[in-house]
Each structure stands twice: as C-alpha cells, then as structure tokens.
Structure 1
Amino acid sequence: MRRPITLRRALLLVGATLALSACGKHDDSAAMSAAAALGPQSTAADPLARGRYLVKAADCAACHTTADGAPFAGGVKLASPFGTFYGTNITPDKAHGIGNWSADDLYKALHDGVTPTKQLYPAMPYTSYRQLSRADSDAIYAYLMAQKPAAVPNHEPELSFPFNLRFGVRFWNWVFLKDAWPDASNQASARGAAATGSADWYRGRYLASALGHCAECHTPRGKFGQLDGAKPLAGAALGRIAAPDITPHGLAARGWTAADLQTFFATGIAPQGSAFGEMFPVVHLSSQYLTHDDLRAMSTYLLGDQPPAPQPLPQPQSGSADAAQLEAGRNVYLAVCAGCHGLNGEGKPHVAVPMHANSTLRQSDAHNLIVAMLDGIGAQDFPGLERMQDMPGFATQLSDEELAQLASYLRATWGGQPADVTADAVKALR
C-alpha cells in the first residue's frame, strides 16, 4: 500500500534505516467509530466492497501497480538517496505475492512492518498504516485476496551499504515507531485531555493520518528521518516537488476554504490551482474516489474545527518590488506565459490555471514555482471532462536571471510575496 514519489511517493524517497517516520495507532473509541463510518453505506455489510474503498483511500495502487502492469503486481520504481526501492507484488500469487499470507500476516505488515519472511523498510508507510483498525485491515485483506494472481517476481531493493542490512530497521523502529496520532493542528493541546473533537474531525483524522498517510510527505523530519512531532504537517521538501504546509494556518494563509479543499480532493482543481507533481496521482488514484462525507471530514480535520479556527486570507496585495524589476519579469511573462495563463493572469479553461489566488504563488518558499518553471508540467486529465494542457519547461529557453525575474514578478503580482527570487536560487534547482 503506498503513496507516490514525493506527495504521496515522497515517503519512499526517505525509505531506509534512517528513513520514515513515526505515526501510530491510537486505539480510542472515537477513532474506531470514525473508521467504522468511512465510505458509502452500501459497503458496510460487504467486506469486498469496503476493502476496495479502503485500498483506494490508502492509495495502494500508486506503489503496487505500474502504468502497464497487472493490478497490484508491483514493480513501481522508487528512487531514494539510499538506493532504489520497488513496489512489491501484493496479488494472491503464492510464489511472488501474498497468496500464502493470513489476515494476521497482513495486519502485522501494516501495523509493524513485518511480513512472514522479512522486516519491511519504512518506505512502506507502516508508520502510518499502523493506525488502521483491525477490521479495516481484514477488509483490505479480503479485497486483495479476491484479485487475480499475477506471477510477477519482485525486485529486491538496490541499496548501498549499510542501508541494505534490513536488521538495522529494527533499531530504527525501536527508537522512532510510536503509537500516537500526528495532529494536524494545535487543536490537540487546545482541547485539553478531557475535550473531544467533532465526529467529522475524528473521521478526517483517520482518513488523513492512517489511510492517506499525509504526514509522511507533509511533515518535516529530523536527522534520522523521523517525523518532527513539533511541526505536524508543516511542510517538507523530500523530493523535487516540496510538500507544502497543510496545517490550518498554512492552508488559510494560501486562501483555502473547506469547499475549495473538498473540490480539490475530488477533482484535482480548485480556485487555488490544480494538482501537480506527486499530488496529481494522489487525486487520480485515491482521493477522487472518496465519498462526499469523507471529503468533508478530511477537510474538517485539515482546516480545524475548534475556535478560533484560522479564516482563509483574501487575495494578498502586491508584494514588495521596484518598478524596473517588475517590468523585467512582466516582459518575460508576456513572452512565454500569457498565451496560456492570460494577459492578466486570468487563465484559460481546459488549458491553464489562473494566476489569481494561485496557492503555489502564495507560498513563502519559491521552490515549487521555480521547479515548475524549469521542468514544466505534463498534460493532465482530471475527473470528469476537465483537463489541463502540458506546460513546457523553460530550463533550456530562459536564463537563470530571466527565470528569477519571472518568479519574482509572479509572486509579487499575484502571491503577495516579496520579489526576492535570485538567479542563484534558480541555478541551485536546475
């Protein structure tokens, strides 16, 4: 079960002995009630239907199904600083998959990262999946065992020493694997020991923390790869595209509302922009399949449900920049961007998103903006009839100085950020 390379595959970019984090299962009644309430009512009495819904919510296909391979047969290549991992075969094939596993075996793999034959690297996010209820683990098991077996051999990880020594993961687990819910806001301390959140908040926490394992990409890490418990969901740069701050205050600062967040998870597009990088497969393979009630619950958890909940900030005024600097950036914009994004940043339906209210421009760090300009964004088909054309990368067309001028213009004009992007900052990301 998995998540994509750098939004939801970023957890795999740190997957080794010193890699992923400590999220845990907290067996409270509110959490278990939240787990039981997930999904459409029609799945409640049907383990296979419920298992299918949970597998979608957990984004398992992203790591275990290649673009041209059999469902869940593994083989997805996952690069990391420690070497290369490959998604494993989780079909019922007895030779290469999990055909010989029991429901207890799957639960132990999800909860502790231990299979009948080996210790898993935390590239498989058991650090978050350990929060799953036993009932949901069993439903996932029932669904996987009902799939068609695929006799596809697994690829062993290609890791450098000492990360190729699996036993080292046991020491990492001993230090960092904990039973505690990562909290997406400061609400936990604000509630107090006796206080409780709304039913939607608990339901959303289960969806985001256990199934969605959002913390794996969106929480910064310590020097040993563990999640920084003092900064839950405050953003992290684990791959080419940095996972942004999705705390209530971080989302509010970029203008997100509950309605917009639900629309984004369901369709990949909102007034704040479209999903790109590793967030696109999250929507494509996972969140678009969640029910309206579950999308509402997840948005409630991420945005907060306790007063004083931060309110979305309006479109900011232009950031600081001198006239000459803005003019240089605007000239670059008119030359290479305005044809798709509009003369005044209004965007074009089914072609390019608006610059107005764009969440990436409102981030304090220009990292993702620079990477998007350098690398481009491939054409993307979203749920329904919506799509966005490919955005070409300008790494070979524009100099570091020109890209810096463009980024500064975009941020100052539509993001309310200072026009402080330098040519050196662009060069560092080439």
Structure 2
Amino acid sequence: MTKRTILLTAAALVVIGAAAVASVFFGALETSVVSKDVDTPLSAQEMQRLAERGAYVAVAADCYACHTAKDGPAWAGGLAFETPFGTLYATNISPDKEHGIGAWTRAEFHRSVRDGVAKGGRHLYPAMPYASYREMTAEDVDAVYAFLMTREPMPVPNRENQLSFPFNIRQSLTFWNLVNLRRSGFEPDPARSEVWNRGRYVVDALAHCGECHTPRNLLQGMKPGAYLEGAVIEGVEAPDITKEGLTRMGFDPATLAAFMKSGVSAQGSMTHQMFEVVHFSTQYLTDDDLKAMAAYLFDLDAMPATSTPPPAPAPVDVAPPVASAARSTYLNLCAGCHGAEGQGIPHVAVPLSTNASLRLESPRNFVRAVLNGIPAQRFPGLERMEAMPPFADLLDDRELADLTNWMRARWGGRQPAVTPEDIAKLRERGHGGS
C-alpha cells in the first residue's frame, strides 16, 4: 500500500467515522424518489404484462452479471467485489422468500433499486449502482421487479461482507446518500432529440456507464465535474468515454455502436469487466438503443448517415537505440500473432496499429496485458480471439518500457515517457500490490 493510499484511507476513516455518528441525525432528512403510487401492489395481469419488458430492461441494466457468482445459481448472488475497504458480495435477487426478494413488496423493490435502502431499512453499499438506477423510470423498475419474480427461486443464503470498521456500519450510508444522490430521477432535456435523450437514459440510468468510467472522490462518490473521463477499476483503466476520449481511441458513432454489439473492432477487443458487459448485456440491446447510446456519447441528436473514423494519430519519434531494441522484441514476441506491421490476424489476434490501448494517456492497460496475458475469448457472432500468453517472465522492466514507448509512439502518437520504474510499479500492482 502506498503512502498516498494510506493517507487517503486514513482520511476516509475519519470522515466516514464522523458520518456514521452524524447519520443518526441526517436519517430524518433522507428522501426518496419513490412515488406514492408504488405502494399499490401490481395485479397478476400487470405483472405478467411487465415481465417480458423486464427481461430486456434487466439485460440493459446488466443485473445478471453482478448477481450471479461464477458457476453459481442464476440470480443467487455471491459474486465478490474487491474494494479498498474490504470485500462485498452481491446479494440473492431470485424470488426465494427467505434469502432472495420473494417476500419483497413492489415499494420495497423500488426503494432498494432507486434509493439504495433494502427491505427492513437496510442500506445497500454503492457497489450496487443505485446512484445511477435512481434515474430509472418507475415503469422500468416495475418491469424488472415483475421479471425477477418469474425466475426460479434459489434458496442460497447471502454471504457476509468482509469490511473493516467503520465501513461495516451501514447507517453511515445515509450521509453518503445525502451527499451523492440526485434529489430527483431522470428528466429529459426538451432541447435535445428523442434519440439523444434515449441515449442519455440508457448510458446514465440503465447501463450505468458512469459507475466505472467516472473517477471517484474521497467518499467514493462519482465526481460530477469529471463525468465519464475515465477511472481505474481493480487495476484496469476504464477509459475516457467522452466525445474527446472516444475520438482519441479511434471511434466514431457507428464503430462505437458496432463495438458494443460485437465486442471486437479495429480498436481491439473487450477485456476484463467490459467483456462481461458485452457477454451479458450490450450484445442483446436493440440496434436503436446502441445507436442512441453512441449518439449521446458523441453529443449528437441523430446518428450520422455515414461512418467516418477519425484519422490515426501521427507517429512520434523514438531514440534509435530504443526503437531498434523494441522492434526486435516486437518481432520476436508479438509479430507472430499481431503481424509485422501490427495489422493483426482475423479470429486470432486484434490489430495493434489501430489499437485503443496504445492511444490512452496511461500505459496501464497495455502493460497489464503484456505482463498477464489475455485468455481466449468468444464473442457474439461466432467471433473469437486466441489466448495471449503472459510475458512477465520474458521481459525485464527496461525491455518492457522500451517496447511500450516504441509501440505507443508508433501507433498511438504518445510521447515515450514510460520508465522502467513505471513498469516495476505496474508489475507489483498486478501481483496484488496497491
């Protein structure tokens, strides 16, 4: 753990400790966006009618991926989330009446999804993205509720979270909610098109993109002034997906929509958590919703009639000794799969000459991929990419720094600023450091 992390954690302990005490008083001020009419139970006919739509909304909100453990029963929870303050476990949201939500009322489900307060007044941790789901419409929350009640009940007990004091005091989240939650739900912008507003709703509410792509403040709330500008999640860069960031990575609206559908493009392939997002969520979105998301992220009221990817960044010069050594390393270790000129091989390895990871401000994702490798992956449409082996034991810090600088300069237009010390830090963090 670095000195900066220790100081931040200590400060957070002081602040959250104070918040835990103050929350007793703030609790009276905690408000809900839940409207009065959800106190009325839905009829059997309404539940049946809503369930079909709820299947789509639950997919768009990526509920399954978080509430199903690897190789575990569907919707039964148990998936671990590692945080700086301990481990959280996703809860059972199957309709089991003892361990799941089978005994929850419509109003209790709304309160949980949009306010972060579960049945019985138990506060949820914001790893459950209720700060984003708060903007979901009442109709969509009803639809998810109706759909989940049609799933098979799973009698699987919820796992206890492993959080240190004072982060294990749920009531302190009353204060967090007052600071970080919007006072109202989604409100369309009348000055923008239906497409733009739909895209904003899918991006901000259902798909909750900001939860990973917006940096966090000391209290782990999303920074409003840095919306979608990128963040580090579990050691991986969730890149800047503002219009400027997407353009820098080589996307235009059409290629972005296609990338979210397929998970593979000239810019690379989805990896880490985004691979699961494609696998469980975005591949199933309608073309209209994917286009709306792309239009919103590029701040457009309609999708362009043609696709015009931005030009590649201009190459940057690298010192001849570095370039010579790095090119030799590339030809020996990388070219067999990615091609001598970084063109890639279809169904085997993605291109590097147009790869987004080489255009990012931080080299983190590229270096982690080289050190740790990437498993073989199957994508929608029968596409697949072969496994990339790890090279941590084949490259020392100097060799990897030179390779990183040369590739980022040649294909990413980035100045060669990565040092062996930078590689050493990333290597350490990739093996459990912080």
TM-score range, shorter chain: 0.7 to 0.9
Q: What RMSD over aligned residues (CA atoms) do the two structures have, in Å?
A: 2.5
C-alpha contact (below 8 Å) 2:136/2:186 kept by paired residues: no
- 2:296 matched residue in structure 1: 301
Residues 399-414 of structure 1: matches in 2 within 5 Å?
399-414=396-411
Deviation string, structure 1 residues 7-26 (Cα, Å, up to 9, x no partner): xxxxxxx9x969xxxxx999
Q: TM-score, normalised by structure 2?
A: 0.84
State which of 202, 206, 227 in structure 2 corresponds to 1:211.
206
Deviation string, structure 1 residues 8-50 (Cα, Å, up to 9, x no partner): xxxxxx9x969xxxxx9999xxxxxxxxxxxxxxxxx942221
Deviation at 1:89, TM superposition (A): 0.4
Distance in 2 between residues matched to 1:138 and 1:277, nearest whole Å: 31
Residues 72-151 of structure 1: matches in 2 within 5 Å?
72-117=75-120, 118-151=122-155
Structure 1's unaligned 5+ residue stretches are: 1-13, 19-23, 28-44, 189-193
Deviation at 1:61, TM superposition (A): 1.1
Runs (4 or more) in structure 1 with deviation over 3 Å come to: 24-27, 179-183
- 2:44 matched residue in structure 1: none
Any idea what SS the aligned residue of 1:360 has?
Answer: helix
Residues 123-272 of structure 1: matches in 2 within 5 Å?
123-179=127-183, 196-272=191-267
Opposite residue 426 of structure 1, the aligned amino acid is I
Any idea what SS the aligned residue of 2:88 has?
Answer: strand
C-alpha contact (below 8 Å) 1:64/1:90 kept by paired residues: yes
- 1:292 matched residue in structure 2: 287
Opposite residue 298 of structure 1, the aligned amino acid is M
Opposite residue 113 of structure 2, the aligned amino acid is L
Any idea what SS the aligned residue of 1:408 has?
Answer: helix
Higher helix share: 2
C-alpha contact (below 8 Å) 2:295/2:301 kept by paired residues: no
- 1:35 matched residue in structure 2: none
Opposite residue 215 of structure 1, the aligned amino acid is G
- 1:42 matched residue in structure 2: none
Distance in 2 between residues matched to 1:280 and 1:104, nearest whole Å: 33
State which of 418, 423, 431 in structure 2 corresponds to 1:421.
418
Deviation string, structure 1 residues 106-132 (Cα, Å, up to 9, x no partner): 111011101112111111111100100
C-alpha contact (below 8 Å) 2:186/2:201 kept by paired residues: no
Deviation at 1:382, TM superposition (A): 0.2
Distance in 2 between residues matched to 1:320 and 1:225, nearest whole Å: 40
Opposite residue 357 of structure 2, the aligned amino acid is T
Q: Number of residue pairs matched? A: 384
C-alpha contact (below 8 Å) 1:241/1:278 kept by paired residues: no
- 1:21 matched residue in structure 2: none
Deviation string, structure 1 residues 241-299 (Cα, Å, up to 9, x no partner): 11100001111122201111011110101111110121110101100000011110011
- 1:70 matched residue in structure 2: 73
Any idea what SS the aligned residue of 1:384 has?
Answer: helix
Opposite residue 83 of structure 1, the aligned amino acid is G
**Does 2:400 correspond to 1:368?**
no
Any idea what SS the aligned residue of 1:85 has?
Answer: strand
Structure 1 residues 400, 25: closer, same or farther in 2, change over 3 A?
farther
Deviation at 1:103, TM superposition (A): 1.2
Opposite residue 285 of structure 2, the aligned amino acid is L
Q: Percent identity?
A: 46
Structure 2's unaligned 5+ residue stretches are: 1-11, 18-30, 35-47, 428-434
Q: TM-score, normalised by structure 1?
A: 0.85
